[in-house]
Amino acid sequence: SQTIHQWPATLVQPVGSPLSLECTVEGTSNPNLYWYRQAAGRGLQLLFYSVGIGQISSEVPQNLSASRPQDRQFILSSKKLLLSDSGFYLCAWTATGRGKLFFGSGTQLSVL
Protein backbone atom coordinates (compact mmCIF):
# COMPACT_ATOMS: atom_id res chain seq x y z
CA SER A 1 0.00 0.00 0.00
CA GLN A 2 1.01 3.60 -0.47
CA THR A 3 2.26 5.76 2.37
CA ILE A 4 3.51 9.30 2.64
CA HIS A 5 6.13 10.44 5.11
CA GLN A 6 6.72 14.03 6.11
CA TRP A 7 9.20 15.38 8.61
CA PRO A 8 9.84 16.98 10.99
CA ALA A 9 6.50 17.17 12.81
CA THR A 10 7.35 20.47 14.50
CA LEU A 11 10.03 23.03 13.84
CA VAL A 12 10.95 26.30 15.53
CA GLN A 13 13.28 28.49 13.52
CA PRO A 14 14.62 32.03 13.94
CA VAL A 15 13.87 34.69 11.36
CA GLY A 16 16.47 34.66 8.61
CA SER A 17 17.41 31.01 9.02
CA PRO A 18 17.11 28.46 6.18
CA LEU A 19 14.40 25.84 5.88
CA SER A 20 14.21 22.35 4.45
CA LEU A 21 11.12 20.17 4.78
CA GLU A 22 11.12 16.75 3.18
CA CYS A 23 8.34 14.51 1.96
CA THR A 24 8.58 11.03 0.49
CA VAL A 25 5.94 8.73 -0.94
CA GLU A 26 6.21 4.95 -0.93
CA GLY A 27 4.37 2.30 -2.89
CA THR A 28 3.67 4.21 -6.07
CA SER A 29 5.49 5.55 -9.10
CA ASN A 30 5.39 8.96 -10.71
CA PRO A 31 2.94 10.52 -8.27
CA ASN A 32 1.81 14.12 -8.52
CA LEU A 33 3.16 15.88 -5.44
CA TYR A 34 1.89 18.98 -3.66
CA TRP A 35 2.89 21.37 -0.89
CA TYR A 36 0.10 23.15 0.97
CA ARG A 37 0.20 25.68 3.80
CA GLN A 38 -2.49 26.22 6.37
CA ALA A 39 -2.53 29.29 8.60
CA ALA A 40 -4.06 28.82 12.07
CA GLY A 41 -7.81 28.28 11.81
CA ARG A 42 -7.80 28.82 8.07
CA GLY A 43 -8.15 26.86 4.85
CA LEU A 44 -5.48 25.28 2.70
CA GLN A 45 -3.35 27.22 0.27
CA LEU A 46 -1.56 25.39 -2.53
CA LEU A 47 2.09 26.47 -2.71
CA PHE A 48 3.73 24.14 -5.23
CA TYR A 49 2.94 21.07 -7.25
CA SER A 50 5.00 18.70 -9.35
CA VAL A 51 4.05 16.21 -12.04
CA GLY A 52 7.54 14.74 -12.42
CA ILE A 53 11.21 14.92 -11.49
CA GLY A 54 12.52 18.46 -11.79
CA GLN A 55 9.08 19.82 -12.77
CA ILE A 56 7.82 22.38 -10.29
CA SER A 57 4.90 24.76 -10.62
CA SER A 58 4.51 27.62 -8.20
CA GLU A 59 1.07 28.85 -7.29
CA VAL A 60 1.93 31.78 -5.07
CA PRO A 61 4.96 34.11 -5.30
CA GLN A 62 6.73 33.92 -1.98
CA ASN A 63 9.85 33.33 0.01
CA LEU A 64 9.75 29.57 -0.55
CA SER A 65 10.93 27.19 -3.24
CA ALA A 66 10.38 23.51 -3.98
CA SER A 67 12.41 20.79 -5.62
CA ARG A 68 11.82 17.22 -6.71
CA PRO A 69 15.21 15.53 -6.98
CA GLN A 70 13.76 12.01 -7.12
CA ASP A 71 10.48 10.52 -8.33
CA ARG A 72 8.97 10.17 -4.86
CA GLN A 73 10.75 12.95 -2.99
CA PHE A 74 9.51 16.52 -2.64
CA ILE A 75 11.39 19.20 -0.73
CA LEU A 76 10.24 22.62 0.44
CA SER A 77 12.99 25.14 1.09
CA SER A 78 13.74 28.68 2.02
CA LYS A 79 17.04 30.55 2.17
CA LYS A 80 15.83 33.05 4.77
CA LEU A 81 12.65 32.55 6.75
CA LEU A 82 10.23 35.37 7.46
CA LEU A 83 7.77 35.65 10.35
CA SER A 84 4.96 35.27 7.80
CA ASP A 85 6.26 31.83 6.83
CA SER A 86 4.89 30.39 10.07
CA GLY A 87 2.14 27.87 9.56
CA PHE A 88 1.21 24.25 9.10
CA TYR A 89 2.82 22.73 6.01
CA LEU A 90 1.33 19.68 4.40
CA CYS A 91 2.69 17.47 1.66
CA ALA A 92 0.21 15.52 -0.44
CA TRP A 93 0.09 13.22 -3.43
CA THR A 94 -2.23 11.88 -6.11
CA ALA A 95 -1.69 8.90 -8.36
CA THR A 96 -3.16 10.70 -11.35
CA GLY A 97 -3.68 14.30 -12.36
CA ARG A 98 -7.10 14.65 -10.78
CA GLY A 99 -7.10 11.67 -8.47
CA LYS A 100 -7.78 11.08 -4.83
CA LEU A 101 -5.56 13.31 -2.70
CA PHE A 102 -3.66 11.91 0.29
CA PHE A 103 -1.92 14.08 2.87
CA GLY A 104 1.13 13.62 5.03
CA SER A 105 0.98 14.31 8.74
CA GLY A 106 2.19 17.89 8.38
CA THR A 107 4.91 20.10 9.85
CA GLN A 108 4.06 22.87 12.29
CA LEU A 109 6.58 25.64 11.57
CA SER A 110 7.01 28.53 13.96
CA VAL A 111 9.31 31.34 12.89
CA LEU A 112 10.36 33.53 15.83
Partner 1 sequence: GIQVEQSPPDLILQEGANSTLRCNFSDSVNNLQWFHQNPWGQLINLFYIPSGTKQNGRLSATTVATERYSLLYISSSQTTDSGVYFCAVWPNFGNEKLTFGTGTRLTIIP
Judged by the rule CB under 8 A, the positions of this chain that interact with partner 1 are 38, 42-44, 46, 49, 59, 88, 90, 98-103, 105-106, 108
CB of 28 to partner 1, least distance (A): 15
97/55 Cα distance (integer angstroms): 14
DSSP structural state of residue 54: T
The DSSP bridge partners found for residue 45 are 37
Q: Is the peptide bond before 61 cis (omega within 30 degrees of 0)?
A: no
Residue nearer to partner 1 on the CB measure, 46 or 53: 46
CB of 106 to partner 1, least distance (A): 5
Residue nearer to partner 1 on the CB measure, 27 or 99: 99
DSSP structural state of residue 64: -
CB of 104 to partner 1, least distance (A): 9
Tally the residues of the chain.
112
93/35 Cα distance (integer angstroms): 9
Residue nearer to partner 1 on the CB measure, 24 or 107: 107
CB of 59 to partner 1, least distance (A): 7
